[in-house]
């Protein structure tokens, strides 16, 4: 696996903003290599299996430790698909890099069910871009990786790290609407553990 990502000039609305390699490399190291990047660019090589648009990561089963930096034009669909894969037990963890659009419905539906949220200090410069991103970023973590001390330590160094151990406060109503039958308190890492 190489860490070389050929980047793209970022424009608002552009789906091709590759993750800065120096930002994700410590996470790759911490999880011992991602198993899957379901929304890979043609040039990215961040996981053992990199699924590009041609193959369609939204109709591919996810597995193992997943790195997700989705096309921002469809972030809700990606978080929804990831949520379904996670709740059916198909993946060990998902680490997702998305814009911290805290006013959006998708943020409130999905970010609130994560185990960790790291609001990144400053603005990332996506690979190949001379400019910083037009919005702040947040890294969301579901599953095993949230209990990985190396992941926690790294994210803690990158911004405001929130452990959502009390997400069952208010989260049950949201879960009921999109994941009937899932008990928020029984999700690994919840405050009931």
Supply the DSSP symbol for 72: G
- Whose CA is closest to 39, among 106, 88, 98? 98
Of the residues 27, 36, 51, 161, which one makes contact with ligand SAM according to CB under 6 A: 51
Shortest CB 163 distance to ligand SAM, Å? 24
Give the position of tokens 């008990």.
Answer: 183
Range in contact with ligand SAM (rule: CB under 6 A) among 53-61, 85-93, 107-115, 117-125: 53-61
CB-nearer residue toward ligand SAM: 44 or 93: 44
Shortest CB 60 distance to ligand SAM, Å? 8
What binding mask, one character per residue, do residues 14-33 give for ligand SAM by CB under 6 A, x or -? -xxxxx--------------
Range in contact with ligand SAM (rule: CB under 6 A) among 38-46, 133-141, 143-151, 161-169: 38-46
CB-nearer residue toward ligand SAM: 7 or 143: 7
**How many angstroms separate the CA atoms of 142 and 98, rounded?**
14
Shortest CB 24 distance to ligand SAM, Å? 7
DSSP secondary structure string for all residues of 153-184: HHHHHHEEEEE-TTTHHHHHHHHHHHSTT--G
Which two tokens mark 41?
């660019």
Which two tokens mark 103?
């006013």
Q: How far is CA 65 from CA 34, 129, 177, 188, in A?
A: 5, 27, 26, 15
Shortest CB 18 distance to ligand SAM, Å? 4
Shortest CB 113 distance to ligand SAM, Å? 21
- Whose CA is closest to 178, among 57, 82, 89, 41? 82
Using the rule CB under 6 A, is 83 a contact of ligand SAM?
no
Using the rule CB under 6 A, is 41 a contact of ligand SAM?
yes
Give the position of tokens 């001379």.
Answer: 130
**Chain residues that interact with ligand SAM, rule: CB under 6 A:** 5, 15-19, 37, 39-41, 44, 46, 51-53, 56-58, 69, 71
């Amino acid at each position: 696996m190489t860490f070389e990502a050929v980047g793209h000039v970022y424009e608002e609305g552009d789906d091709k903003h590759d993750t800065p390699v120096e930002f994700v490399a410590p996470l790759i190291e911490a999880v011992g290599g991602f198993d899957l990047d379901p929304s890979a660019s043609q040039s990215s090589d961040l996981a053992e299996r990199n699924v590009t648009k041609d193959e369609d990561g939204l109709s591919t089963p996810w597995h193992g430790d997943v790195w997700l930096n989705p096309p921002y034009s469809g972030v809700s669909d990606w978080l929804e698909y990831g949520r379904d894969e996670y709740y059916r037990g198909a993946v060990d963890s998902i680490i997702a890099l998305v814009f911290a659009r805290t006013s959006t419905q998708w943020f409130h539906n999905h970010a609130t069910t994560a185990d960790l949220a790291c609001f990144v200090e400053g603005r990332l410069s996506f690979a190949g871009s001379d400019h910083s991103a037009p919005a702040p970023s947040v890294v969301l973590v579901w599953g095993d990786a949230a209990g990985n001390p190396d992941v926690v330590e790294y994210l803690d160094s990158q911004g405001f790290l929130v452990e959502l151990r009390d997400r069952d406060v208010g989260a049950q109503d949201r879960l009921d609407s999109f994941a009937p039958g899932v008990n928020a308190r029984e999700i690994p890492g919840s405050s009931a553990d």
